[in-house]
Amino acid sequence: MFTAFGRLSAVVMVLLLFSLLSFRCSREDRADHSEHSDTTAMATPEKIEGGIENLAAGDSAAQSEGTSTEHSAHQSSEPKDSVAKQKQVETQPSDNSVEEKRGVTGEDEACGEITDARIKAGATLFVGKANCFTCHKGNGTGSALGPDLTDNTWIHISGDYSSIIDNIRTGVKLPIEYPTPMPAMGGAKLTDEEVCAVAAYVWSLSR
């Protein structure tokens, strides 16, 4: 009797275990099916297309931002280049101003242009009526009383034609390196043309 009862109990236990296993497997299958359904629902064609559009929009925005940044940098560098070029042009003297300073053109507003005839007349006045030779010697090389006029080194003036004319007319009351003042027009009474002629000759000595 006990043997039959033991067998029956064993059968019941096996049936219970089988039922539990079947129930658990059924729940796991349902959970897997549910997860698969959720994943499928998330990956719909509409969502995939929307994701692609978002990615494309992001790339377009990044490209636009990069182009805008490059354009802004180019614009900011242009004014600096313009300012640098403007400063360079302002600091470079014109050829005309250099020529006027050096007296290359040999012209003056009042006296006009230097000519060979004017230089020749000035040479005669230099050793005669104008008294220039007394301090600068007859050939203009200078002495203890006056500077050399042939070396293109000027003490009181720039050495162009106009400054030489003004120097002859006004003289040098307070010489820098020499003891004797230079009187206006050498102490002589020179006409305007004679002043222009003497200045032309002095100008030619250093050229």
Kindly indicate the confidence band of residue 32, based on its pLDDT and cuts at 50, 70 and 90: low
Kindly indicate the confidence band of residue 41, based on its pLDDT and cuts at 50, 70 and 90: very low
Q: What is the pLDDT of residues 101-146, one digit of tens each?
A: 334 447 888 899 999 999 999 999 999 999 999 999 999 999 999 9
Q: What is the pLDDT of residues 84-112, one digit of tens each?
A: 455 454 444 444 433 443 344 478 888 99
What is the second-level CATH architecture of the domain 100-205? Orthogonal Bundle (1.10)
Decide which of 48 and 28 is more confident.
28
Pick from 129, 153, 126: nearest CA to 140: 126
The rounded distance, in Å, linking the Cα atoms of 202 and 197 is 9
pLDDT at 102: 38
Decide which of 51 and 110 is more confident.
110
Q: What is the pLDDT of residues 159-206, one digit of tens each?
A: 999 999 999 999 999 998 899 999 999 999 999 999 999 999 999 999
Beta carbons within 8 Å of 156's beta carbon, 6+ residues apart: 167, 172, 175, 176
pLDDT above 50 (res 157):
yes
The pTM of this model reads 0.51
148-184 burial: b if 16+ Cβ within 10 Å, else e: bbbeeeeeeeebbbbbbbebbeeebeebeebeeebeb
Decide which of 14 and 154 is more confident.
154
Q: What angle do CA 110, 112, 113 make, to 5 degrees?
A: 155
pLDDT at 140: 95
Q: What is the pLDDT of residues 1-22, one digit of tens each?
A: 546 666 667 766 767 776 666 6
Q: Which DSSP symbol is given to 70?
A: H
